[in-house]
């Protein structure tokens, strides 16, 4: 099996109360070249958890003290965007499903195959990398939005919801010419090559914007 290159700053966090499972997982993941950090409870993990953490989290659902779900919720509250994979036992599937709905990447049932867990880990790390890239993109978009004037922002919003220039001119009570000028300025300021790219940037930043 080929070892997928992992970003050197990415760490796989294993949170499981069962010492054997935790240890064996560390043993296996390390064999595949991942940096692994093991925690024996949700509380211990949350204590070690910081904003600069990267990588992914393998979280056991059923633990004494805080359960996996509770830890996940706490992470959500802390706006920790690390992708989470739940490890469940047999019969914990409904719980895992509800976890998925809340944004977990996936769940894996014990006992799991090496390939499955590695695929999931890789997927998570990839996701984390993507997320990290998107974050940078969003930050750029936000910065660019900040450069827009009031009028330009209004025009942008109407563009995103798909209004034509004429409609925009009517809505704002300005001339089409003026709309076109604003539009070109927006495109320039937002660094967008096309309308689609513009919309993609803005919606990625604010998914609810298109609905508005």
Q: Which is nearer to other proteins, 8 or 208 (CB)?
A: 8
Q: Which is nearer to other proteins, 67 or 178 (CB)?
A: 67
Q: Contact positions toward other proteins, by CB under 8 A?
A: 1, 3, 18, 20-21, 23-25, 27-32, 62, 64-65, 87, 89-92, 109-114
Dihedral sign, Cα of residue 85, residue 15, residue 52, residue 120: negative
3-state SS assignment for residue 60:
strand
**Count of positions (residues) in the chain:** 212
> Judged by CB, which is closer to other proteins: 11, or 58?
58
Nearest to 17 by CA among 56, 55, 68: 68
Closest CB 56 distance from other proteins, rounded Å: 17
Distance of closest approach, residue 187 Cβ to other proteins, in angstroms = 51
Residue with smaller CB distance to other proteins, 109 or 206 = 109
Min CB(9)–other proteins separation in Å: 22
Residue 13 half-sphere exposure toward CB, CA atoms < 13 A? 27
Based on CB atoms, which residue is closest to other proteins, 23 or 188? Answer: 23
The token pair at 130 is 């993507």
- In the complex, least distance from residue 4 CB atom to other proteins, rounded to whole angstroms: 12
Residue 211 CB, shortest distance to other proteins, in Å, is 40
Closest approach of other proteins to the CB of residue 212, in Å = 43
Please classify residue 69 by burial: count the beta carbons closer than 10 Å to its beta carbon, then call 0-12 exposed, 13-18 middle and 19+ buried: buried
Parallel, antiparallel, or unpaired for β 55-60 and 35-39?
unpaired
**Within 10 Å of residue 152's Cβ, how many Cβ atoms?**
18
Degrees, nearest 5: CA angle 9-14-16: 165
Query: Given the complex with other proteins, which of 42 and 81 has the nearer CB atom?
Result: 42
Cα 123 to Cα 104: distance, rounded to the nearest angstrom = 12
């Amino acid at each position: 099996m080929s070892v997928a290159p992992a970003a050197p700053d990415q760490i796989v966090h294993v949170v499981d109360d069962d010492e054997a499972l935790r240890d064996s997982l560390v043993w296996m993941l390390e064999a595949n070249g991942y940096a692994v950090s093991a925690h024996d409870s949700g509380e211990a993990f949350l204590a070690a958890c910081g904003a600069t953490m990267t990588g992914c989290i393998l979280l056991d659902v059923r633990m004494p003290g805080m359960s996996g779900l509770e830890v996940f919720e706490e992470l959500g509250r802390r706006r920790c965007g690390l992708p989470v994979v739940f490890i469940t036992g047999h019969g914990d599937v409904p719980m895992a499903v509800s976890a998925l709905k809340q944004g977990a990447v996936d769940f894996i049932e014990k006992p799991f195959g090496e390939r499955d867990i590695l695929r999931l880990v890789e997927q998570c790390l990839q996701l984390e990398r993507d997320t990290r890239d998107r974050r940078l993109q969003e930050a750029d978009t936000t910065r660019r939005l900040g450069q827009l004037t009031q009028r330009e922002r209004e025009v942008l919003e109407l563009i995103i919801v798909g209004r034509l220039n004429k409609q925009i001119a009517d809505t704002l009570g300005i001339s089409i010419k003026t709309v076109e000028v604003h539009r070109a300025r927006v495109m320039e300021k937002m660094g967008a090559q096309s309308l689609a790219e513009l919309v993609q940037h803005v919606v990625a930043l604010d998914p609810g914007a298109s609905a508005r």
